[in-house]
Amino acid sequence: MLRQRSHKRDRSLTGAGLRPFHGVSLIEFLVVLSVMAALVGMALPVWSNIRNNAYDARARQNYEQGEEAVKRYWASQGRKEGDYKHLTAAYMQSLEFGTYWVELNTASLEEMEFDQVPRDYFAAILILHDDKAVSDEILIATISENGKLYYTRFKKVDIVETGELAFSQLKAGEGEHLQATMKTGFGTE
């Protein structure tokens, strides 16, 4: 009796019109494969866009934290001395929990190719120094992993200039306003 049931079960699967798996034709397989390829082709640009937006969001968040930190620094330390001499990466990291600061000369950043930028710079707030800058001015920036540089120049506590620059523009010499001049500090006003 047990044998009859299992035999009936086998007959019902094959007799009901179901084909075994090995009966898939080459055309059916190619149709399924082309549909999957089309879906992947549509998903890749969307994924790339999401990733680039995430890179920009992280850089902007660091940038905004950096602006607020410089304002707090000036309120607590800079106003007393009237300058940014003590605004160093080590001091800011000890003062600002959860932020990573790097001091860098503006000219050395311009000399780098984008693929030579150290990985930790993408998670850092850059303090850009220029020997010709006046002591009551400071320039901070962040770099997004998709090649954008967000920057702010402070004169005392006031934001004098803020902007966004593609790293390729910086390399092409369009970042001259980030360099100090003897007359005007970090750029023209």
Task: For residue 7, tell me if it sits in a domain.
Answer: no
Is the Cβ–Cβ distance between 107 and 131 less than 8 Å? Answer: no
Task: For residue 65, tell me if it sits in a domain.
Answer: yes
Q: Virtual CA dihedral for 112, 115, 118, 124, nearest 10 degrees?
A: 90
| Residues 36-83: tens digit of each pLDDT | 999 999 998 888 889 889 989 999 999 999 999 999 999 888 888 888
Domain tally for the chain?
Answer: 1
Cβ atoms < 10 Å from Cβ of 78: 23
Task: For residue 27, tell me if it sits in a domain.
Answer: no
Task: For residue 35, tell me if it sits in a domain.
Answer: no
Q: What integer pLDDT is reported at residue 18 of this predicted model?
A: 56
Domain holding 138, by residue range, is: 41-178
Task: For residue 16, tell me if it sits in a domain.
Answer: no
Q: What integer pLDDT is reported at residue 109 of this predicted model?
A: 86
Q: Which residues contact 51 (CB under 8 A, 6 or more apart)?
A: none
Q: What integer pLDDT is reported at residue 32 of this predicted model?
A: 93
Q: How confident is the model at residue 188 (pLDDT cuts 50, 70, 90)?
A: very low
